[in-house]
Structure 1
Amino acid sequence: MYIPDIYKNENQEDITAFLKQNSFGILINQTNGKLWATHIPLELQTNKEGKTILEGHISKENPQWQGFTENDQILAVFSGPHSYISPSWYDHENVPTWNYIAVHVYGRIKIIEGDAVIESLKKLVDKYEQNSENPVRIEDLSQKTMMQSRGIVAFEIEIDEIQATKKMSQNRDDKNYQNIISELEKTNINQSIAVANEMKKCPR
């Protein structure tokens, strides 16, 4: 990913928090000579060897998994809040732009089987059920329901490299920076307000 130095995010704590909060990503690989992409949750975990990994699964009917053994190299793309930035918000003439947060994870994928699949599903369900009024647990599901797990291909991705960008108008002076935040908050658009909140937290 092309990242100008001013927008490069190398804060590992910040990147880890982002990946945990924005775990619905795009898994990209090459299958049968074509680029394939699937939109799925990819959960940041630590495996038994202490390595940082991403865990996920896709349907067995999705041909993408057939490429995992042919070429284990993958790219996972994660996006955060983003918003259009109008040049009318500056005190000088300039061009329109876009503020956004994105993380690209490069790694090697391998299929997991057996108990590891169920353990992966447990962690996924527990994470997203924790705020439910009546949380569902994998352990409580019937054998008949759990037979559906035979229809998935579970995997883990050992991470080789992470590239992260946080483009939040860091190239603007304080006056224009604060004005961008103010204008974003006036939009009443959730994504724009989220960008304004990120800008407030962004070190300058």
Structure 2
Amino acid sequence: MYIPQHYKNEDLNEIKDFLAKNSFGILINTIDHKPWATHIPLELGTNNDGKDILVGHIAKANPQWKHFSENQEVLCIFNGPHSYVSSSWYKEEEVPTWNYIAVHVYGVLKILSEEATMASMHKLVEKYEQDSKHPISLKNMSPKTLRQVKGVVGFQIEITDIQATYKLSQTRTEDHAKIISELEKRDASSKSIASEMKNRKP
């Protein structure tokens, strides 16, 4: 994606932390010369060679998987908080803009065995159930219920490139305090952007 230098984030540890906390992404490949996208959890991990991967699964009823092929590069998009920024908050006249965090991950996709897919689903459920009041576990579910795994296709994506945009008014240092103050009066996403801006005060 196009990233102006001011907004490029190349801190891999920070980006990995973002991916772990914002793992609901968009998987994109091409079907009959048209882009096809599916919204799914894509969990960051490492493979047996220690390389960074994303792991996920989609329904077999979704035709996207029929166009998966070995060595095919796919794109995964992850969105973070975002917010409109009014130029009325600036000291000088300027057009409004939008602040946001977004990460694009490119990689080569490989279909997983049913056993590996089930293992990945166990990890997924354990991750998101840990804060539940009454956590459930796939280990306690009946074989009949778990047969649903036969209706999905699991895959892993070996990451080849990561591009991260953190657009947080870096070019308007003189207006930072005002922008943060105004964002903190708005919705949850705006407040999250304000927090990110505070963490990166120029």
1:177-199 residue CA offsets vs partner (Å, 9 max, x unmatched): 11000001112x11111110111
AA aligned opposite 2:182 = E
Q: Secondary structure at the match of 1:48?
A: coil
Partner of 1:198: 196
TM-superposed CA distance for 1:114, in Å, is 3.0
Q: Secondary structure at the match of 1:120?
A: helix
Partner of 2:182: 183
AA aligned opposite 1:195 = I
Partner of 2:90: 90
RMSD: 1.1
TM-superposed CA distance for 1:158, in Å, is 0.3
1:117-152 residue CA offsets vs partner (Å, 9 max, x unmatched): 111001100110000111111111110000000000
TM-superposed CA distance for 1:71, in Å, is 6.7
TM-superposed CA distance for 1:33, in Å, is 2.6
AA aligned opposite 2:179 = I
TM-superposed CA distance for 1:50, in Å, is 1.0
In structure 2, do the counterparts of structure 1 residues 38 and 18 end up closer, same or farther at CA, with 3 Å as the change threshold?
same
Long gaps (5+) in structure 2: none
Q: Secondary structure at the match of 1:186?
A: coil
- Please identify, of 146-155 and 32-41, the stretch whose mean Cα deviation from structure 2 is larger: 32-41
Identity of aligned residues (%): 56
CA contact under 8 A between 2:107 and 2:161: conserved in structure 1? yes
- Please identify, of 127-136 and 65-74, the stretch whose mean Cα deviation from structure 2 is larger: 65-74
TM-score (norm 1): 0.96
CA contact under 8 A between 1:54 and 1:157: conserved in structure 2? yes
Q: Secondary structure at the match of 2:10?
A: coil
Partner of 2:128: 128
